Amino acid sequence: MKFFKKSEDTEQAAKIEDLGRMIDAAGMPPDVKKIAEQELETLSRISPSSAEYTIGITYIDYLVGMPWNKKTEDNLDISRAEKILNKEHYGLHKIKERILEHLSVKVLRAARKPHILVVDDEEIARKNLTHILAKENYEVATASNGEEALKELGSSEFDVVITDLKMPGIDGMEILEKIKTKNPDTKVIMITGYATVPSAVEAMQKGAFNYISKPFKLDEVRTTMKNALEKKMQMRSARGSVLCFAGPPGTGKTSMGRAIATALGRKFVRISLGGMKDEAEIRGHRRTYVGAKPGRIIEEIRRVESANPVIMLDEIDKIGQDFKGDPASALLEVLDPEQNHSFVDHYLDVPFDLSSVMFIVTANVIHNIPSPLRDRMEVIEFSGYTQEEKTRIAMQFLIPKQIKEKGLYEHQPSFTEEAVYKIIQEYTHEAGIRNLERKIASICRKIARELVQHGKGLEPVEITPKAVERYLGRRKYHFEVIEEGNRVGVTTSLVLTEAGGDIIFVEAVKMKGKKGLILTGSMGDVMRESAQTALSYIRSNAGSLGIPEDFFEHYDIHIHIPAGSIQKDGPSAGLAIVTALVSLMTGQPAIRGIAMTGEITLTGRILPVGGIKEKILAARRARVKAIIIPAKNSMDLEELSDDIKMDIDVHPVDNINEAIDLVISK
Ligand code: ADP
């Protein structure tokens, strides 16, 4: 039924023909191609002025633009990769090593010859198959019955087992069942005689990959084997390919991801999960209305025109409760090698194979990642930098980069080391180097402007500490710990936040009342419980702590954690809370210059906490000279390099009393 005008008719016919050619050229898998052709066929029968037509055309346009079989070829030269990682990053030795190991495993996997086991009780069949398969350059082993096959399967790993269905004793079906429970990744091809086709179908339902019938047709054996291996390889190359870079902002996670892509010769894509509110941003909208869109993953793959880019999913720990839909399961479909070879985006509506994408996810804190996701990742931890590392990174990388970006080639400013140190100390407060880079950029911009506007700087500018003040204004950060004196009821605590380690002050005051406890400030639930525990411990040990018996009858206690930009939680402030309370109740000042971390128990023990390295870095940023940590964390210290522990006194303690002795000045 045609109801449009002649000119529209020919225009439509031409468009449809065009799309038909594009479908042919797109390299789609057969089932996708079929769907695209059906869709096109439907379109040829509806009016080009209808909304469906527009939606349909846009859709097919989109489908043919996907890189169905376009991939970049991997460069697996590990020495070259090492050079690239080194060229762009200072330090990070352990991280670079882990990454190179990860890439090396990829190389080895890519180089391994496929291993195949042929099981048949007929000698002639075994010989024929071995002959065909060995010619394809596969590593072939044989077994003449079920028992032998199981023995082989127990001693080495096979990619594909090709087995006769009907054998005396242990038959093909039983072998299949054993493989499916023990080596579920191994693909099984059944060999059937004429009479056993129905059982072969049953075998497929039980998880066999396919079947071939006797007498063998050469081509059939070859293609079936090739398909089975392809499926197997997809899973193998994908397994464990999800790297997770965890650490504070500005520690080089993104730029390391980019360097990996450069090293492999792959396209690089970065998708931030942080601001996402809706599952459709991952999985796409159904194409029922004009303007429906695919999810970000499919969109980015289409944009970079490659089916195997490195995709960095940023801030996976930030997708949270207010998310519409089920983000964890959507991401699982994307990241899980068992599922992602046929990822269905709602808009695309046909499966797209994501198994050759290399996914790297980033997170600030690992324990915020849903555990089904975390289980599938290889976590590599990035940590904050020391002042000395920051200075060196700035001198060697950030400053040359900014000079280049701001076009200051001719009149390159030279930064003195003291100036860089001043920026780090007085204008930034961070574990990473994001703000440091911003400050350097800001100075370079100002120099560029002076140069252009006033013709100044014809003499190259030297950036000294004084110049820093001129360009950046007054210092932004002060050292609250060392610049203020000891006080009653105030202690210094080391905590771990999403932005790395940090220093907070616990303040406690008393006022007339009756046994009340008021908690305010940026405290999460766990920290509130620590405060309760601290108070109960003190009340039950009041006598030995030198606190008057009737103290609690006459006073309310108020504990406050001054709010920072980031909510703080976790049990590790327990030790600072309990010492602040003891200081308050005994009226003796607490030493401000000792920062502490530790979880407390009702019986006064101190339990280990996480993030020791980040906390020590935070202490050093605040110029704290002494810290108290749980004795059980002493092991973490041993793993740290000397320049991190340099000029800081670490006191490991086992119980609250030891800490009180150190902190309360008598
Ligand atoms: P993240 O992704 O962890 O937030 P980025 O990768 O964005 O951090 O790093 C911030 C900036 O610091 C980038 O310009 C990056 O190149 C630079 N950078 C971080 N670590 C290093 C390092 N070790 N050596 C050189 N540059 C670094």
Pocket mutation for ligand 1, best pick of 92, 99, 251, 255 (most atoms within 8 Å of C-beta)? 255
- pLDDT at res. 2: 43
Q: Which of 303, 289, 297 is CA-nearest to residue 272?
A: 297
Q: What is the pLDDT of residue 456?
A: 61
- Name the phi and psi angles at 502, rounded to 5: -155, 165
Question: What pLDDT sits at residue 252?
Answer: 94
How many A from CA of 499 to the centre of ligand 1?
A: 14
Residue 464 has pLDDT above 70, yes or no: yes
| pLDDT exceeds 90 at position 236 | no
CA angle 363–367–372, rounded 5-degree value: 90
| pLDDT score of 3 | 44
Give the pLDDT of residue 227: 86
* Protein residue whose Cα sits closest to atom 17 of ligand 1: 252
- Read off the pLDDT of each residue in 256-265 and give the average, rounded to a whole number: 94
Is 229 a pocket residue for ligand 1 (Cβ < 6 Å)?
Answer: no
pLDDT tens, position by position, 186-235: 899 998 876 677 787 888 888 889 888 888 888 888 889 988 887 777 66
Give the position, in ligand 1's atom list, of the atom nearest the Cα of 382: 3
**In the prediction, which pLDDT does 541 show?**
93
Instruction: Report the number of distinct structural domains present in the chain.
Output: 5
- Listed in order, strand segments (DSSP E) in 250-339 are 268-272, 310-314
CATH, residue 622: 3.30.230.10
Residue 255 Cα: closest atom of ligand 1: 6
Residue 295 covered by a domain? yes
Residue 247 — pLDDT band, cuts 50, 70, 90? very high
Ligand 1 and 92: CB distance under 6 A: yes
Q: Work out the average pLDDT over 506-515.
A: 90
Ligand 1 centre to CA of 359 (Å) is: 19
d(CA 65, CA 306): 11
Q: Count of CB atoms within 10 A of residue 458's CB?
A: 9
Amino acid at 332: L
- The b-or-e profile of 391-412 (16+ CB within 10 A means b, else e) is bbbbeebbbebbbeebebeebe
Whose CA is closest to 624, among 613, 633, 615? 615
Q: Is the pLDDT assigned to residue 1 strictly greater than 50?
A: no
Q: How far apart are CA 26 and CA 24, in angstroms?
A: 6
Residue identifier of the C-alpha nearest atom 26 of ligand 1: 89
Residues 6 or more apart whose CB falls under 8 angstroms from that of 576 comprise 491, 492, 493, 504, 506, 596, 597
Identify whether the C-beta of residue 363 lies closer than 8 Å to the C-beta of residue 331. Answer: no
Catalytic residues: 572, 615
- pTM flag (> 0.75): yes
Q: Look at residue 638 and tell me if it is in a domain.
A: yes
The share of the chain scoring above pLDDT 70, in percent, equals: 95
363 vs 366: CA distance, rounded Å: 6
| Domain-located, residue 106 | no
Of 335, 362, 381, which residue constitutes the final position of a domain?
A: 381
Helices 93-111, 253-264: inter-axial angle, 10-degree rounding: 30
SS (H, E, C) 434-494: HHHHHHHHHHHHHHHHHHHHHCCCCCCCEECHHHHHHHHCCCCCCCHHHHCCCECCEEEEE
C-alpha gyration radius of the chain: 33
User: Three-state SS for 151?
Assistant: helix
> Of 400, 430, 417, 403, which Cα lies nearest the Cα of 465?
417
Q: Is there a contact between 598 and 629 (Cβ–Cβ < 8 Å)?
A: yes
- pLDDT, mean of residues 111-126: 88
Cβ-contact 363, 317 below 8 angstroms: yes
pLDDT at 647 over 50: yes
The CATH number of the domain where 129 resides is what? Answer: 3.40.50.2300
Name the residue range of residue 205's domain.
115-237
Tokens of 300: 């980015």
How many Å separate Cα 367 from the centre of its chain? 12
Residue pair 558/531 in contact (Cβ under 8 Å)? The answer is: no
> Does 654 fall in a domain?
yes
Task: Dump pLDDT digits (tens) for 468-479.
Answer: 999 998 888 877
* pLDDT category of residue 237 using cuts at 50, 70 and 90: low
Q: 518 and 457 share a domain?
A: no
The answer on 571 and 493 residing in a single domain is: yes
Instruction: State the chain's mean pLDDT as an integer.
Output: 87
Clarify whether residues 230 and 247 are in a common domain: no
Write down the pLDDT at residue 83. Answer: 94
91 lines ligand 1 (CB under 6 A): yes
Cα-to-centroid distance, 500 and ligand 1 (Å) = 15
Report the atom number in ligand 1 closest to the C-alpha of 362: 2
Range of lowest pLDDT (436-440, 541-545, 643-647): 643-647
Q: Which CATH number is 420's domain given?
A: 1.10.8.60
Q: How far apart are CA 520 and CA 562, in angstroms?
A: 8
pLDDT at 84: 94
* CA 254–ligand 1 middle distance (angstroms): 7
Per DSSP, 190 falls in state E
User: Which pLDDT score, from 0 to 100, does residue 4 have?
Assistant: 47
Which residue among 436, 451, 472 closes a domain? 472
Cβ-contact 60, 367 below 8 angstroms: no
Q: Write the DSSP symbol of residue 622.
A: T
Would you state the structure tokens that stand for residue 212, as one six-digit string?
């071939």
Pocket test for ligand 1, best of 383, 403, 433 (most atoms within 8 A of CB): 433
Collect all residues with Cβ–Cβ distance below 8 Å to 658 and sequence separation of at least 6. none
SS3 of residue 529 by DSSP: helix
- In this prediction, residue 239 carries a pLDDT of 52
The answer on 299 and 326 residing in a single domain is: yes
Q: Which residues are 518's β-sheet partners?
A: 558
Q: Is 239 in the pocket of ligand 1 (CB under 6 A)?
A: no
> Using a 6 Å cutoff on CB, does residue 308 contact ligand 1?
no
pLDDT class of 386 with cuts at 50, 70, 90? confident
Query: What pLDDT was estimated at residue 14?
Result: 86
Check whether residue 393 and residue 262 sit in a common domain. no
Assess whether pLDDT exceeds 70 at residue 565.
no
- Is residue 254 within 6 Å of ligand 1 at its C-beta? yes
Residue predicted with more confidence, 633 or 411: 633
- The pLDDT tens digits of the residues spanning 316-371 come to 888 766 667 777 788 888 988 778 888 999 999 999 999 889 999 999 888 778 88
Structure tokens at 37: 């052709």
Residues 462 and 538 in one domain: no
